[in-house]
Structure 1
Amino acid sequence: MSTSTFPSLMIVGCGDVGSRLGRQLVARDWRVHGLRRNIAALPLEVLPVAGDLGQLECPDTWPVGKLDYLVYCAAATQHDEAGYRAAYVEGLRNALDWLRQRGQSPKRLLFVSSSGVYAQRDGEWVDENSPAEAQSYSGSVMLEAEQVALRSGIPASVVRLTGIYGPGREWLLKQVRDGYRVASEPPLYANRIHAEDAAGLLAALLEADRDGGALEDCYIGVDDDPAALHEVVAWLRERLGVNHWSDEQSVRRAGSKRCSNARARALGWVPRYPSFREGYAAILAGKDD
């Protein structure tokens, strides 16, 4: 089979999740391009495209010819409203303009969004049909960017990922080692997905579309167990052998909701790490995926 018959993918903002996605799909005979500023950080399997999402002109190394799919999974480097707007709204608009400059019209666009678009805070179950009424600037900007994707003229799906963790994303482990305190009543539900499973969900969506499946315009990326945060902390304390508590007050979180992955699972996607237990056990064992 010649390389021209391979499905082709551009990953714009090819960081941790994007790189994992690229490796997964190259192993399945996809031709994968990855755009980021520092192409030295890309996996060897991914074809490098050096580019800055703040630029209006299409990067010189952008592929020519047919491009079957585009995944937009940029991350904000400046954590304020202006930084979010630059990364998610303006950056996406620029990437769509680059497609037009090259005369490319992918079969589908996947925009990686966030469950932060949901403002539910009383432990409610949330799915793709739940009201998305963001109360933070980050959630509001994400909703705006989702609309840019959905109105792009390209068939599009938004993928609202929950709290991504994995190797190199170990904030909670550090906090627990420092004696992290969290209220148990009322329970504060948090939602997670391992970075490898986030990539796996994106891959499942792309392959479903390639195989002629009908995709919805929105999916939530989350594991099977939106556990209460105090349960996660207790489990990690035991595994880490932490016996002390911080002198600070118990941590209070603004949000508490339980996200459902039923729609994603209906496609046949199954998380490799169904709960925090399997995911953090792999991290503590030194596994890198």
Structure 2
Amino acid sequence: MSAPNVLIVGCGDVGGRLARQMLAQQWQVFGLRRDVTRLPEGVVPVAADLAEPACPTNWPQGAIDYVVYCVAAQQHDEPGYRAAYVEGLKRVVGWLKHNRQLPRRLLFVSSSSVYAQAAGEWIDEYSPTEPVAFSGRLMLEAEQVAKESGPATVVRLTGIYGPGRERLLQQVRQGYRVPHEPSLFGNRIHSDDAAGLLAFLLLNDAQGAPVAGCYLGVDDKPAPLAEVVDWLRVRLGVQERGEESTLRRNGNKRCSNAQARALGWVPRYPSYREGYEAILNG
């Protein structure tokens, strides 16, 4: 029996990491993005712009076993989010139907922005989703598109960091500080773990294991931003002390990965300490 295939729509940072992991499992991987010259070696290129209605000329032929939709909005405003997450997903679903392709499962990479809780509460997959910001509202709308397309799983990733996603490190090197009170919890996942969770779900589904309709992608230990910044200042040996930031970050909640862990997933970087240590040592 041949290994399954997967079409990764938005094969950029996390998608590229996922592609490498699935290639290592001997899967055939199709990567859809505008600039296919940046795809990892071994990925079958699918050059496409999700803003264009016509199905790409090099769209995969035959059965598509799995689809992972993990695009990144080019514009961080309401029209940009709608184009990337809602309309783009509708376009891909339409191309699948046009080619009479029925994937076994679609994974839609969503965001914890669908949760509006901001008092330090613990959040899981069953917590109320009542977003106030347009980003969360549009993610929920896109999640519904995914669910209506056929068998689908939504993966709500939290703050992704990793190589190439080092803004906080740069800020700390410049003396960045945040107040300890009120304590503002943040949620993180290393980019390798984000891809690893997606790979884990694909492999489980392919092996016939039960896969739920929603998972939170987060490490084991949500931590206050002030704690993370203080740890990084010590680790980097930063003596400069810039003005204490008065910027209140969006959200203040603690996301749980208990459901993914119950399935057997284990993050490679269980907290910000291991994750940032790997970046700094790299």
Residue aligning to 1:236:
232
**Partners of 1:235 and 1:45 in 2: how far apart?**
39
Alpha-carbon distance, 1:254 to partner: 3.2
CA RMSD after TM alignment: 1.0
Residue aligning to 1:52:
49
**Partners of 2:40 and 2:139 in 1: how far apart?**
27
Deviations 1:154-196 (A, max 9, x none): 1001000000000000010011111112121121100000000
| Secondary structure in 1 matching 2:172 | helix
Q: How do 1:100-119 residues align onto structure 2 when only pairs under 5 Å count?
A: 100-119=97-116
Residue aligning to 1:24:
21
Deviations 1:232-275 (A, max 9, x none): 00110011111122125443223110000000111111000000
| Secondary structure in 1 matching 2:223 | coil
Deviations 1:211-247 (A, max 9, x none): 1112111100000010111110011001111112212
- Identity of matched residues, %: 64
**Partners of 2:228 and 2:244 in 1: how far apart?**
19
* 128, 133, 156: which one aligns with 2:130: 133
Whether 2:204 is the aligned partner of 1:208: answer yes
Residue aligning to 2:256:
260
2:21–2:199: 8 Å Cα contact kept in structure 1? yes
Residue aligning to 1:99:
96
Residue aligning to 2:173:
177
1:183–1:252: 8 Å Cα contact kept in structure 2? no
Residue aligning to 2:147:
150
**Partners of 1:209 and 1:90 in 2: how far apart?**
27
1:191–1:227: 8 Å Cα contact kept in structure 2? yes
Residue-pair matches, total: 282
2:179–2:245: 8 Å Cα contact kept in structure 1? no
Residue aligning to 2:37:
40
**Partners of 1:213 and 1:55 in 2: how far apart?**
36
Alpha-carbon distance, 1:45 to partner: 2.1
**Partners of 2:177 and 2:112 in 1: how far apart?**
24
Residue aligning to 1:66:
63
Query: Structure 1: which 4+ aligned runs deviate by more than 4 Å?
Result: none
1:22–1:46: 8 Å Cα contact kept in structure 2? yes
With structure 2 as the length reference, what TM-score do the two structures score?
Answer: 0.98
Residue aligning to 2:8:
11
What runs of 5+ residues in structure 2 fail to find an aligned partner? none
Residue aligning to 1:217:
213
2:201–2:211: 8 Å Cα contact kept in structure 1? yes
* 262, 270, 274: which one aligns with 1:274: 270
Alpha-carbon distance, 1:137 to partner: 0.5
1:116–1:134: 8 Å Cα contact kept in structure 2? yes
**Partners of 1:63 and 1:249 in 2: how far apart?**
49
**Partners of 1:45 and 1:273 in 2: how far apart?**
27
Amino acid at match of 2:169: L
**Partners of 1:47 and 1:172 in 2: how far apart?**
34
2:53–2:91: 8 Å Cα contact kept in structure 1? yes
Alpha-carbon distance, 1:42 to partner: 0.6
| Secondary structure in 2 matching 1:33 | strand
Deviations 1:100-147 (A, max 9, x none): 111100000000000011011111000001001111001110000000
1:181–1:250: 8 Å Cα contact kept in structure 2? no
